[in-house]
């Protein structure tokens, strides 16, 4: 596979997925002002909490270069992290908004924007070594929040766990063999929020339960 970059992240011209690399090239032509590269993780690798999303949105993280930034999903995610002490500052939908994460890091199961927000199974599998490197690079990792079924399954596969042993259920928590606890939430996507599959209260309940599980550090 393509070597990890010096920071353990996919290279900006990662060519592992033909379809995603072609989409990226089209987007570089169409939207030259966008970031248009694999979106690197955000936050300190000494954090205890890793949040795993699905993939960058075309006009969100793929434009700004920071996970969930400029995406509808970020409008619920980031203020919730501030509310529960996992972030400081005010989310401004811009990587220069000064927001910082506290004891928390955010990544995606797939680092490149997929057409129609839908990565294929092979693309998710191909991107998995980057998620594995992410988890390995976090020596204090204690909890993972999987946003949606794809993130949940990507985490299980990365950690060598059987899907059948850990069913995705919104609000569930699973203690994995490694000792890391996986928390499940429906993804905070526009669709899930607008259809009320996921309400602000439901999302706060999950992040609040992680807050109770991870007593504030230091
Ligand atoms: N933006 C991201 O970076 N990840 C998601 O899962 C959704 C939007």
SS (H, E, C) 135-200: HHCCCCCCEEEEECHHHHHHHHHHCCCCHHHCCCCCCCEEECCCCCEEEEECCCCHHHHHCCCCCH
Which residues sit opposite 103 in a β-bridge? none
pLDDT of residue 6: 53
Ligand 1 centroid from CA 48, angstroms: 20
Tell me if 61 CB under 6 Å of ligand 1. yes
Task: State which ligand 1 atom lies nearest to the alpha carbon of 72.
Answer: 8
Task: State which ligand 1 atom lies nearest to the alpha carbon of 189.
Answer: 7
* Ligand 1 mutation target, pool 108, 123, 154, 190, most atoms within 8 A of CB: 108
Task: State which ligand 1 atom lies nearest to the alpha carbon of 39.
Answer: 3
Query: What's the predicted TM-score (pTM) here?
Result: 0.96
> Rounded to an integer, what distance in angstroms lies between the CA atom of residue 125 and that of residue 121?
6
> Rounded to an integer, what distance in angstroms lies between the CA atom of residue 128 and that of residue 105?
17
Average pLDDT per consecutive 10 residues, the chain (218 residues; last block may be shorter): 64 97 98 98 98 98 98 98 98 98 98 98 98 97 98 98 97 98 98 98 98 85
Tell me if 57 CB under 6 Å of ligand 1. yes
pLDDT of residue 1: 44
> Rounded to an integer, what distance in angstroms lies between the CA atom of residue 195 and that of residue 132?
33
Tell me if 108 CB under 6 Å of ligand 1. yes
> Structure tokens of 205?
């309940």
> Rounded to an integer, what distance in angstroms lies between the CA atom of residue 218 and that of residue 37?
36
Contact yes or no for 108/56 (Cβ under 8 A):
yes
**Domains (range + CATH), the chain:** 39-213 (3.40.470.10)
Which residues sit opposite 105 in a β-bridge? 43, 50
pLDDT of residue 87: 98
**Which residue bears the tokens 């955000």?**
42
17: Cβ–Cβ under 8 A, 6 or more apart, which residues?
112, 122, 123, 126, 127
pLDDT of residue 218: 60
Tell me if 71 CB under 6 Å of ligand 1. yes
CA dihedral 122, 142, 191, 126 (to 10 degrees): -10
Ligand 1 centroid from CA 85, angstroms: 21
215: Cβ–Cβ under 8 A, 6 or more apart, which residues?
none
Q: How many CB atoms lie within 10 A of CB 106?
A: 28
């Amino acid at each position: 596979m393509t070597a990890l970059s010096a920071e353990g992240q996919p290279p900006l011209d990662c060519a592992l997925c033909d379809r995603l690399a072609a989409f990226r090239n089209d987007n570089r032509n169409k939207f030259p002002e966008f970031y248009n590269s694999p979106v690197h993780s955000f936050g300190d690798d000494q954090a205890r909490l890793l949040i795993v999303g699905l993939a960058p949105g075309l006009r969100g993280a793929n434009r700004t270069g920071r996970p969930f930034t400029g995406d509808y999903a970020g409008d619920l995610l980031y203020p919730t992290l501030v509310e529960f002490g996992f972030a400081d500052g005010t989310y401004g939908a811009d990587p220069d908004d000064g927001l910082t994460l506290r004891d928390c890091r955010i990544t995606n199961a797939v680092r490149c924007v997929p057409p129609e927000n839908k990565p294929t199974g092979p693309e998710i599998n191909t991107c998995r070594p980057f998620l594995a490197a992410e988890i390995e690079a976090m020596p204090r990792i204690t909890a993972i929040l999987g946003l949606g079924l794809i993130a949940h399954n990507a985490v299980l596969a990365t950690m060598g766990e059987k899907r059948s042993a850990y069913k995705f259920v919104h609000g569930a928590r699973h203690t994995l063999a490694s000792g890391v606890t996986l928390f499940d939430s429906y993804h905070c996507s526009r669709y899930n929020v607008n259809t009320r599959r996921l309400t602000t209260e439901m999302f706060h309940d999950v992040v609040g339960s992680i807050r109770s599980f991870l007593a504030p550090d230091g």
